[in-house]
Amino acid sequence: MRSTDKQPDSGSIIVWTLLADSPLLWQRFENGCLLFNTGSGTTHLLNDPVPDILTELQSAPATVVELLDRLDLGSEDEQVVHQLSALLQDLDQLGLVWPENL
């Protein structure tokens, strides 16, 4: 774990988990990907790198830094870390991922 995985206010570690008790269905195209959440009945149009992020989280929960490493996106750049954090929060709003505080 690194300091970038910690919440600024509490200092706790956030591990992101795919929020899908029900299966996710995919339709992948060259320039976009459709995802159907069978739990919510909602269809999402996703651009890169969101499909890869969700696929990684489907295999195992991860912190932001772990996720960047697994996606080979480089975890040294603070700006990239913050961008991915913001993206995960957006996905949280869509009901696709869930932050767990350790």
Partner 1 sequence: MKIKDLSRQDLASKLSGTGLRWATGPFHIHLKSSVPGFSDYLHQLYGDHPVLQPPWSDIADFHLQLNQNNGYRRLIRPQVFFQMDGVNHLAPFPLDHAPPLFEWGWNFVIAGRANHFLILHTAVVAKGNRALILPGVPGSGKSTLCAALALRGWRLLSDEFALIRPDDGQIAPLPRPVALKNQSIEIIREFDAQAVLGPEFPKTRKGTVSHLKPPGDSVEKMSELARPGWVIFPHYQEGQRPILERVPPEYAFLRVAANAFNYETLGGAGFNAVGRIVRGCELFDFRYGNLADAVETVENLLASSRQSTEATP
Site string for partner 1, 16-55 (x = CB under 8 A): -------x-x-x-xxxxxx-x-x--x-x-x----------
Closer of 39 and 61 to partner 1 (Cβ)? 39
- 89 to 30, 40, 65, 72, 85: CA distances (angstroms): 26, 18, 15, 20, 6
101 binds partner 1 (CB under 8 A): no
94 in contact with partner 1 (CB under 8 A): no
Q: Quote the least distance from Cβ 31 to partner 1, whole Å.
A: 6
* # residues near partner 1 by CB under 8 A: 14
Task: Say how far apart CA 5 and CA 93 lie, in whole Å.
Answer: 19
Contact status, residue 44 vs residue 96, Cβ threshold 8 Å: yes
Q: Which residues bind partner 1 (CB under 8 A)?
A: 23, 25, 27, 29-34, 36, 38, 41, 43, 45
